[in-house]
Amino acid sequence: MVNDNGQCEGKAQQNIPAPILDLSWTDDGTKIFISTGDKEVRLWDLASNQVAVVGTHDAPVKTCHWIKGFALGNNYSCLMTGSWDKTLRFWDMRQLPTQSSLANITLPERVYCADVLYPMAAVGLANRHIKVYNLENGPQEVKDIESQLKFQVSDLALTQFGRLCSTPIFHAVRLLENFLRIKLWQLVRKLD
């Protein structure tokens, strides 16, 4: 927190026994999901200052994203995690501390980056492919993009341009040999 004098004040702290690879806040700002190099996903409850393991993979967990949306007339919320074990997993977090797997997608390569802008998710893989998913009725792959970059995509983002553009726009970004490359794709949602 930044006080009135412009100084930063710490409000909470935790020691995690493994390298932290990604963080994702819940939509209400009371909890943080933490993906780590020890194959676990943790949930830090800021109110109680407690940390609990809420998911596991068979290799380090590179990405985690809290997803909040509206599908089939219901509020939709889950955690999406991507790992170097070549899986993308979706976790039901409604009954914490107990959680269950909603979906487990086997990928052709390791997950290096991901982003979510409901109802779309994009996942960058080690083989330079980017998988795009529609999340409205469970994760369904809608596009497989092969990046023209020399190496795998190290970061990506989904965004919308203005209020009139309801379709997420995809940006793939890679800092390579002192150049920043940006590629834009417009994603077409498949609606049944």
Q: Is the domain of 125 the same as that of 167?
A: yes
pLDDT class of 6 with cuts at 50, 70, 90:
confident
Q: Based on the domain organization, do 159 and 125 belong to the same domain?
A: yes
Residue 177 and residue 129 share a domain: yes
Total-model pTM: 0.81
Same domain flag for 83 and 35: yes
Q: How far apart are CA 125 and CA 153, in angstroms?
A: 7
Q: pLDDT class for 167, splitting at 50, 70, 90?
A: very low
Does one domain contain both 101 and 26?
yes
87 lies in which domain range?
19-106
Q: Spell out a b/e string for 122-137, using b for 16 or more CB atoms within 10 Å of the CB, else e.
A: bbbbbebbbbbbbbbe
Are 94 and 172 in a shared domain? no
Judgement on whether residues 121 and 173 belong to the same structural domain of the protein: yes
Pick the residue with more confidence: 119 or 44? 44
Distance set, CA 96 to CA 10, 19, 185 (Å): 27, 24, 37
Q: Give the count of domains, the chain.
A: 2
Residues 72 and 136 in one domain: no
Tell which residue, 99, 105, 129, 119, has the closest CA to residue 33.
99
What CA–CA distance (Å, rounded) separates 75 from 97? 20
On whether both 78 and 140 belong to a single domain, the answer is no
With a cut of 70, say whether residue 163 has pLDDT above it.
no
Q: Are residues 27 and 74 in the same domain?
A: yes
